[in-house]
Amino acid sequence: MSIQDEGPEVDVKPEKTGKRAKSGRPTIRDVSRLAGVSRMTVSRVMSEPDRVLPATRERVQRAIADLGYVPDKTAGSLASRRTGFIALIIPTLTNANFATVAQGLTEVLREADFHLLIGYTGYDIAEEERQLTSLLARRPEAIVLAGATHSRAASRMLLSADVPVLEVADLSARPLQHAVGFSNYEIGRVAARHLLGRGYRRIGAVGPVQDGQIRDYRGEERIRGFEEELRLSGLPTDLVLRHGVPPISYDHGAAALGLLLERDPSIEAVFAVSDLMAVGIIMESQRRGISVPNELAVMGFGDFEIGRVTNPPLTTIHVDFHALGRRAGAILLDVLSDDDAEEALHVVDVGLSIIERGSVGKKGSL
């Protein structure tokens, strides 16, 4: 059933132009003036359009479009404590796996009319603190962070934020609250065991270097796990190399191969903490006339699309980042829908798997 317009308020007069006389963000009053209706009618058009006469509805919608009006939900959120958005802080926007996490999160959260607000830190510890300060001032209903290592100041902010906190893409022995991820340390160990199982003994690895406050803690953990597994197997770790300031790139991999060959031209296999670096190693091997995997085996982490189309295709460690994002979203909805749910902490290991392709063979059969 349509409702007749209840008539303009006393100060409402239709304007002859689609532009406002004053500057600044358009308000519901501006829309009501331009459309020649009351503010109540404008509100009804936005919330219950089927209950407004078509002609009136069209006039209001045209005014909204002409003015570029966006409803301000802040006033209502002050009383209800609902802002409708969840903050996601990631180290970079260029890593496809973080984008996939955001996609999975969004798919689940938007079903409950939550929106994702994304900030990125550039792997900078101080920038994470700044991002948290800015986002918390806007009162998110939950905070999702990539990683489980934070500065003392950031940890204090998160622990006192009075909103659910969920860490993803890592697993700590003592998460702040909820966590959905995997052990980056274990990824390094799994990679080393895989190469050892293929008969390689002069094995190298490449991970990130720390530059002041710019650190890739997850990559560092993969290198640490790899190095530890070599030690446990009685092998030297002199070919485990830290090179390249995060974010890791193809160029870092190409440069790292040169450094590894300088240390030992007889190196047999290399693990890179990211597929991007691993692909750089493969490309540099081709430029140098080194056959992969006949003369050098290469293994990565992340299962990036480019690794599937290199020649040879890249052997890598796979994590289902899309499922990780969706699982994180489901946990947040559960916590946000039940006042008592936050008392039960969720810690989920999504697991990992090795994707065997042509860049790693079996030594002795190549």
Q: Where in the chain are the domains?
A: 1-72, 80-183+321-352, 184-317
Q: Give me the count of residues in the chain.
A: 366
Beta-carbon count within 10 A of 291 CB: 11
Q: Which fold has domain 1-72?
A: 434 Repressor (Amino-terminal Domain) (1.10.260)
- State phi, psi for 24 to the nearest 5 degrees: 110, 180
Q: In what order do the strands lie in the sheet with 297-301?
A: 240-242, 203-207, 269-272, 297-301, 315-318, 353-355
Report which of 316, 350, 304, 363 is spatially closest to residue 98, judged by C-alpha positions. 304
Q: Is 201 or 152 the better-scoring residue by pLDDT?
A: 201
User: For the chain, what is the total number of helices (H) and then of strands (E)?
Assistant: 12, 12
Using pLDDT thresholds of 50, 70 and 90, give the confidence band for residue 339.
low
Tell me which residue of 77, 67, 83 sits closest to 29, measured CA to CA: 67
Q: How far apart are CA 164 and CA 161, in angstroms?
A: 8
Which pLDDT band holds residue 25 (cuts at 50, 70, 90)? low
Question: Would you say 70 and 21 are in contact if contact means Cβ atoms under 8 Å apart?
Answer: no
* C-alpha–C-alpha distance, residues 85 and 294, integer Å: 51
Could you check whether 80-183+321-352 and 184-317 share the same CATH topology? yes
Give Cβ neighbours of residue 174 (< 8 Å, ≥ 6 apart).
none
Q: Give the pLDDT confidence score for residue 48 in this predicted structure.
A: 86
Tally Cβ neighbours within 10 Å of residue 11. Answer: 8
In three-state secondary structure terms, 354 is: strand
Q: What is the CATH number of domain 184-317?
A: 3.40.50.2300
Q: What are phi and psi of 254, to 5 degrees?
A: -60, -45
Long-range contacts of 307-310 (CB under 8 A, 24+ apart): 307/275, 307/278, 307/279, 307/357, 308/357, 310/279, 310/282, 310/283, 310/359
**Cis bond before residue 293 (omega within 30° of 0):** yes
- Write out pLDDT tens, residues 235-264: 999 999 999 999 999 999 999 999 999 999
Q: Tell me, which fold does domain 80-183+321-352 have in CATH?
A: Rossmann fold (3.40.50)
- pLDDT tens, residue by residue, 90-149: 999 989 999 999 999 999 999 999 999 999 999 999 999 999 988 888 889 999 999 999
